[in-house]
A and B are shown apart, each in its own frame.
Chain A
Amino acid sequence: MNKTWNNKAWWMVLPVVLLVAFSAVIPLMTVVNYSVQDTFGNNQFFWAGLQWFEEIVNSERFHDALIRQFIFSAVILAIEIPLGIFIAMNMPKKGWAVPVCLVLMSLPLLIPWNVVGTIWQIFGRVDIGLLGASMKALGIDYNYTQNIADAWITVVVMDVWHWTSLVALLCYAGLQSIPEAYYQAARIDGASTWAIFRYIQLPKMRGVLLIAVLLRFMDSFMIYTEPFVVTGGGPGNATTFLSIDLVKMAIGQFDLGPAAAFSIIYFLIILLLSWVFYTVMTHLDKQGQKS
Chain B
Amino acid sequence: MSLTVDHVSKVVGRDTHIHPTTLTLAAGSLNVLLGATLAGKTSLMRLMAGLDKPTTGRILWQGQDVTAKPVQERNVAMVYQQFINYPSLSVYENIASPLKIRGLPKKTIQAKVHEAAELLKLTPMLKRRPLELSGGQQQRCALARALVKEADLVLLDEPLANLDYKLREELRVELPRIFTASGAVFVYTTTEPTEALLLGGNTITLHQGQVTQMGNTLEVYRYPQTLTTAQVFSDPPLNTLSVTKQNQLLKTLKGQVLACPLALQTLPDAPYTLGFRPHHFTLQPSSPHDLAFHTQVTVVELSGSESFIHLKHEEERWVALVGGIHDFPLGSAITLYVAPEQVYCFNEQGKWMSPPSLAQAA
Determine which of A179, A189, A204, A289 lies in contact with B82 in the assembled complex, contact meaning CB atoms within 8 Å: A179
Q: Return A174 CB to nearest CB of chain B, in Å.
A: 12
> Which B residues, 41 to 97, have Cβ-Cβ distances below 8 Å to chain A?
46, 49, 51, 71-73, 76-78, 80-82, 84, 86-89, 97
Q: Return B75 CB to nearest CB of chain A, in Å.
A: 10
Is there an interface contact between B71 and A188, defined as CB atoms closer than 8 Å? yes
Q: 1/0 per position for A140-161, CB-CB distance to B under 8 A?
A: 0000000000000000000000
In the bound complex, residues from chain A placing their C-beta under 8 Å from that of B181 are: none
In the bound complex, residues from chain A placing their C-beta under 8 Å from that of B77 are: 188
Is there an interface contact between B80 and A187, defined as CB atoms closer than 8 Å? no
Q: Is the interface of B mostly helix, strand, loop or mixed?
A: mixed
Residue of A nearest to B72 (CB): A190
Interface size class, chain A: 10 to 19
Is there an interface contact between B80 and A185, defined as CB atoms closer than 8 Å? yes
How far apart are the CA atoms of A203 and B131 in the complex, in Å?
12
How far apart are the CA atoms of A287 and B321 in the complex, in Å?
50
Is there an interface contact between A185 and B84, defined as CB atoms closer than 8 Å? yes
> Which A residues, 257 to 291, have Cβ-Cβ distances below 8 Å to chain B?
289-291
A181 at the interface (CB under 8 A from B): yes
How far apart are the CA atoms of A203 and B71 in the complex, in Å?
25
Q: Return B312 CB to nearest CB of chain A, in Å.
A: 42
Of residues A189, A190, A200, A204, which shows the largest number of chain B Cβ atoms within 10 Å of its Cβ? Answer: A189
* A184 and B78 contact, Cβ closer than 8 Å, known pairs A189-B98, A190-B72: yes
* A291 and B72 contact, Cβ closer than 8 Å, known pairs A182-B84, A184-B51, A199-B88: no
In the bound complex, residues from chain B placing their C-beta under 8 Å from that of A188 are: 49, 51, 71-72, 76-78
Determine which of A182, A187, A202, A203 lies in contact with B72 in the assembled complex, contact meaning CB atoms within 8 Å: A187
Is there an interface contact between A181 and B72, defined as CB atoms closer than 8 Å? no
Is there an interface contact between A290 and B51, defined as CB atoms closer than 8 Å? no
Q: Return B90 CB to nearest CB of chain A, in Å.
A: 9
Q: 1/0 per position for A230-254, CB-CB distance to B under 8 A?
A: 0000000000000000000000000
Is there an interface contact between A189 and B51, defined as CB atoms closer than 8 Å? no
Q: Return A288 CB to nearest CB of chain B, in Å.
A: 8
A173 at the interface (CB under 8 A from B): no
Interface residues of B (CB under 8 A from A): 46, 49, 51, 71-73, 76-78, 80-82, 84, 86-89, 97-98, 101, 128-129, 131-132
A-B pairs with lowest CB-CB distance, top 9: A190-B72, A203-B88, A291-B129, A203-B87, A181-B80, A199-B86, A185-B84, A290-B132, A189-B98
Could you jot down 11 A-B contacts, CB within 8 Å? A181-B81, A181-B84, A184-B46, A184-B78, A188-B71, A188-B72, A188-B77, A189-B98, A200-B87, A289-B131, A290-B131
